[in-house]
Amino acid sequence: MKITLTHKLLSCLVMIVGSLTSVAAIEAINNGTVIVSIKGNPAITVKDLIFETNQLDKKQPMLKQLVPLMPKDDQLNFYKELATRLGEQRIIFIQSKEKGLDAHEQSKEALKKEISKLAQEGVAQPDEMLIQYAQETVAYNEFQKHVLAELSVSDKDAEAFYNNNVKRLSEFQRPPFIIGPSGVKTFAVRVDDPFEAQYLMEKAVKTNIKEAAEGLHKEVLNLGVLSQYAKTVDPALLQKGEDMEAIPKEAFPVWDTVQSADKRFFYVVLGALKAEPEYALFSSVKNEAKEVINALHFAPRFEAALKRLRDENKMDINEKALRLLVGLK
């Protein structure tokens, strides 16, 4: 089992203090062992990891139980990824400070909000730790925005990507991109008992559903395309439509009968044809499509940007200390 940290959780996922029970781990904490160095200088210590622990206890309580149960090697990978992310945050903060970005009014306001947010969440740490944490969070968020702005796709490229991938990518298989869902175009006639349903269906197969229904003074219900997005007064009809989706396209039209969900009536059901999904034109969903496309492109570009930061700043992980923390030799 390998746990991969998402960017949203990178600043708070770490094993709880209570699990650091080994003598080696306690000594490492007391000695302020360096976990991450940048350009040969200490950057992240065990103390920083413990600060993150306090965030975990409030934001991700499930990991309080999960992480100690993980195999030691998985715990080590967990810590290595966390240490990597913390080191990246520190580099971003240092560079932001060197450029004077932290002096901008926008950054100052963001810092105030972040400190206020942490205080409301009950952060109980020395002021310098709290401020450092908030500053690095603000700098990291701004760095993300910068990377995202750099890769913002043009309307022309977005339209080409959308048209080429709208039917293929799962991110587009939902409204507003789908305006006509896939499913079975369905008609139904409600009758009072199964014998009447069988009679009407046999007659309809020989003629058509409209003529057969008129002969019994019944109404034909045009249910449209029954799919996961469809709404119908009777769940039994929706289920029947879903069942019909498994039938090969070449077999349509298909007939069947089904009892109503409340067991009071029966329906003669005609699956007229299988409909393919209908997608919106790019022009009508341009903004939503660009958000999806930018998000798809963001992760690899962002990871590449972080790797450049690590390489350029000679970031190094003290794996020996991390092994001590999880009880490995």
Instruction: Name the stretches of the chain with pLDDT < 70.
Output: 1-31, 53-54, 56-57, 122-126, 227-233
State residue 56's pLDDT score: 67
Q: What is the DSSP string of 119-172?
A: HHTT--S-HHHHHHHHHHHHHHHHHHHHHHHHTPPPHHHHHHHHHHHTTT-GGG
Domains of the chain, start order? 7-152+298-325 (1.10.4030), 182-276 (3.10.50)
The set of residues, in sequence order, having a beta carbon less than 8 Å from that of 179 and lying 6+ positions away, is 278, 279, 280
pLDDT in tens, 265-320: 999 999 999 988 899 999 999 999 998 998 888 888 899 999 999 999 999 999 98
Q: What is the pTM of this model?
A: 0.61
State residue 8's pLDDT score: 36
State residue 181's pLDDT score: 81
Alpha helix positions (H), the chain: 23-30, 46-59, 61-69, 72-98, 105-120, 127-150, 155-165, 194-206, 209-215, 235-244, 286-312, 319-325
State residue 34's pLDDT score: 92
The set of residues, in sequence order, having a beta carbon less than 8 Å from that of 43 and lying 6+ positions away, is 34, 36, 37, 87, 90, 91, 315
